[in-house]
Amino acid sequence: MKFGVVVFPGSNCDDDTVHVFRHILGQEIVKLWHKSTNLEGCDFLIIPGGFSYGDYLRSGAIARFSPIMDKVIEHANAGGYVLGICNGFQVLVEAGLLPGVLLRNDHQKFNSKNVYLRAATNHSLFTGDLDLTRAYKVPVAHAEGRYFTDEATLKQIIDNDQVLFRYCDADGQVTEAANPNGSLDNIAGICNAGRNVFGLMPHPERASDPLLGNTDGRILLEQLLAVTA
């Protein structure tokens, strides 16, 4: 399995992602420049966090039109795996690979803090072995992280078991107070209907190295390695 991290102007979590996958998880991983149309044989693509194109217009709206995104879409439509983290999640919804939108946080401020997540399903590669009762501590860093969609689409993704993570408190309780940005139904991460494209706002790559004092994010990212088994 070969991982590829797509780098846009303004990406700032690409090196974090490379470090975790290469040095913590022991995987082969390369950077893919946004102007390239060569995926270099990568099996699993990651769109990292950051501020692609300075977050002008809506976050991710310009990056969605970078040359490499046509190949990312082709890869996803052919069943290839794609993960979008934070700004990467925003890029994937702008590209139509995931349903919904990411709106400005309900409190109109930038969020940068640790939050808690609870996996909502085991019916995905990303959450297959996670404890559905456990609260995982993972940081967020976003101004536009409020997940929203229309009522019919929300019902569809819930009925299809596409919600991967919800914001919760330290005890694993999904409450309004635990929601850091006003996301609909406390949604922190989803997948597509084909279950091969994943997006979440929190940053598991920032909670994977023991030197940082928190490795809950590593537990999440390790789930992705099941595809190599």
CATH (domain of 166) = 3.40.50.880
Please list the residues that pair with 116 across neighbouring strands: 137, 168
Does the annotation mark 205 as catalytic? yes
Q: Tell me which H or E stretch contains 154.
A: helix 151-159
Q: Which domain holds residue 68?
A: 2-228
b or e along 44-57 (b: 16 or more beta carbons within 10 Å of the residue's beta carbon)?
A: bbbbbbbbbbebee
The rounded distance, in Å, linking the Cα atoms of 83 and 46 is: 5
Q: How many domains, in total, are found in the chain?
A: 1
What's the pLDDT at 56?
78
CB contact set of 187 (below 8 Å; sequence gap of 6+) = 147, 163, 165, 166, 167
The reported pLDDT for the residue numbered 228 is 58
Residue 191 a catalytic site member: no
The pLDDT assigned to 145 comes to: 95
Residue 226 confidence (pLDDT)? 86
Q: What is the pLDDT of residue 30?
A: 98
Question: Any residues with CB less than 8 A from the CB of 227 and at least 6 apart, and which?
Answer: 1, 43, 44, 81, 125
What is the structure's pLDDT at 54?
A: 87
pLDDT less than 50: residues of the chain: 229
**Residue 86 is among the residues annotated as catalytic for this protein:** yes
> Of 34, 75, 142, 203, which is the active-site residue?
203
| Residue of 13, 42, 86, 191 marked active site | 86
Which of these is catalytic: 42, 75, 94, 205?
A: 205
Rounded to two decimals, the pTM is 0.96
Helix (H, G, I), strand (E, B) or coil at 179: coil
**193: CB partners within 8 A, 6+ apart:** 160, 162
